[in-house]
Amino acid sequence: MFSRILIANRGEIALRIIRACREMGIETVVVYSEADRNASYIELADQAICIGPASPTHSYLNIPAIISAAEVADVDAIHPGYGFLAENAHFAQICADCGIIFIGPRPESMRMLGDKVAARELAKKAHVPVVPGSDGQIKDDKEAIKLANKIGYPVIVKAAAGGGGRGMRVAHNDISLRNAFATAKTEAEAAFKDGTVYLEKYIVEPRHVEVQVMADKSGNTLHFFERDCSIQRRHQKLIEESPCPILDERTREELCKSALKVIKEANYENAATVEFLLDRNKKFYFIEVNTRIQVEHPVTEMVTGIDLIKMQLKIAGGQNINLKQKDIKHSGVAIECRINAEDPERNFSPCPGKVDKFILPGGMGVRVDTHIFQGAVVSPYYDSMIAKLIVHRPTRDEAIITMKRALSEFRIGPIKTTIPACLKILSHNLYLQNKVDTSFIEQHLT
């Protein structure tokens, strides 16, 4: 196993990785920007190295600075966390070239699955259901219109280099499709320097369901069931839960098996999330693969009892997974609420500043993943997430009760947070009755 690793991230995930390493006897080196010099987890890491000013381009995205820190500290490996360099194939390649293990997939897998057209074709090859749509990319609007009339409107034009909701356009007829095709292509060209687009039937009011998977270097693959992430706003998830409350056992098994087919076909290694859309008839369709550990991984950890960060470290260190699929069980219901420094009353605009008051919830079934403490300063330079509140209870009803209790115990001030918005959702009839989809917040919380 590794003796020492570098954590190329900040915030709660840096702390999460330090905790896993401490239990495994791995030393940690954390890098930080000038804005994070007073971060709580710096005290808990074995070593901390400043890599630059607050601006992410000059610090957490600064590959030469991070590699230099890794060389100086003489680490065996780098954990990228999520965001920043986590899905950067170029960075993973540089790590390999420098003899440092990147704790994640091989650069080729990241590159291939980062191309949504290639990922879609791979899923088809693995006999996994994909949304009806184009074979490969769509070259011109004539081809788009011809296909749209074959599969039926509405359709969605997506950028091959997109993902996470960037570079998408919906069209309801030939005229709007001509427009959608042109704008999607132009936007993709500008945002990703790659104007490749493809077309899918637009699934109306879907649920977002994703499967957690892991693969070791020997090709052993495991799934850890699914998370329902339908409660999101502008592609930023707010509440996630596991299991998906509307799946029957048979569909769950099919879904999870499909996720494994995708990562087996990709000859994947380490943690991934395979994303699906679930339509009104509870039919699922593959959409994309995230090649990183995700923010919402704790809900999976709670229902399965498995530490996914430790598993990532073991796999990257060359250990084979010594678990069988049938030994992985899910029990109870876990829900995660993201506590962001945002004002829900002002269109969720960021609310950075000093945290004067910070009282944590606790008690039975409650987990809080946070790097924040009383006196901490929330920087405007980074993502606004300041804590994740996770509950794990035997049933969904009990999980909701505990979550509401824990949210109301949480005291954060004077900055505004998403706590009131989470409380509203958890009390909403449609949420309680499992009648939500990805448009829930826009439709019922504004």
CB atoms within 10 A of CB 53: 14
**CB-facing half-sphere around the CA of 194: CA atoms within 13 A:** 15
Q: Does 203 bind ligand MV4 (CB under 6 A)?
A: yes
Q: Does 342 bind ligand MV4 (CB under 6 A)?
A: no
Contact 384, 360 (CB under 8 A): no
Place of tokens 């879609």: 120
Q: Does 165 bind ligand MV4 (CB under 6 A)?
A: yes
Q: Which two tokens stand for residue 53?
A: 């000013």
> Can you tell me which of 289, 438, 440, 441 binds ligand MV4, judged by CB under 6 A?
438
Cα distances from 3 to residues 50, 67, 77, 220, 403, in angstroms, run 21, 17, 9, 25, 38
CB atoms within 10 A of CB 73: 19
The dihedrals phi and psi of 301, each to the nearest 5 degrees, come to -60, -40
User: Which residues 6+ apart lie within 8 Å of 50 measured at CB?
Assistant: 31, 32, 33, 34, 37
Stretch that binds ligand MV4, among 56-64, 74-82, 159-167, 331-339 (CB under 6 A): 159-167
- Cβ-based nearer residue to ligand MV4, 95 or 231: 231
Residues 27-86 that bind ligand MV4 (CB under 6 A): none
- CA dist., res. 85 & res. 200, Å (int): 29
Burial class (CB in 10 A: 0-12, 13-18, 19+), 140: exposed
Q: Does 232 bind ligand MV4 (CB under 6 A)?
A: yes
- Cβ-based nearer residue to ligand MV4, 89 or 229: 229
Q: Does 288 bind ligand MV4 (CB under 6 A)?
A: yes
Stretch that binds ligand MV4, among 44-52, 203-211, 295-303, 316-324 (CB under 6 A): 203-211
The dihedrals phi and psi of 422, each to the nearest 5 degrees, come to -65, -40
CB atoms within 10 A of CB 90: 12
Q: Which of 169, 207, 292, 393 is catalytic?
A: 292
Q: Does 202 bind ligand MV4 (CB under 6 A)?
A: yes
> Can you tell me which of 131, 138, 211, 399 binds ligand MV4, judged by CB under 6 A?
131
Is residue 120 flagged as an active site residue? no
**Strand runs (DSSP E) across 80-165, as ranges?**
101-102, 155-163
CB of residue 120 to ligand MV4, shortest distance in Å: 10
> Can you tell me which of 36, 141, 200, 369 binds ligand MV4, judged by CB under 6 A?
200
* β-sheet bridge partners, residue 28: 5
Give the chain's radius of gyration (CA, Å): 21
- Cβ-based nearer residue to ligand MV4, 156 or 211: 156
Stretch that binds ligand MV4, among 58-66, 158-166, 326-334, 410-418 (CB under 6 A): 158-166
Q: Does 208 bind ligand MV4 (CB under 6 A)?
A: yes
Q: Does 280 bind ligand MV4 (CB under 6 A)?
A: no
3-state SS class at 196: coil
CB of residue 230 to ligand MV4, shortest distance in Å: 7
CB of residue 6 to ligand MV4, shortest distance in Å: 30
Stretch that binds ligand MV4, among 98-106, 201-209, 353-361, 423-431 (CB under 6 A): 201-209
- CA dist., res. 252 & res. 243, Å (int): 9
Catalytic residue positions, numbered? 292
Residues that bind ligand MV4 (CB under 6 A): 131, 156, 163-165, 200-203, 206, 208, 232, 235, 275, 277, 287-288, 438
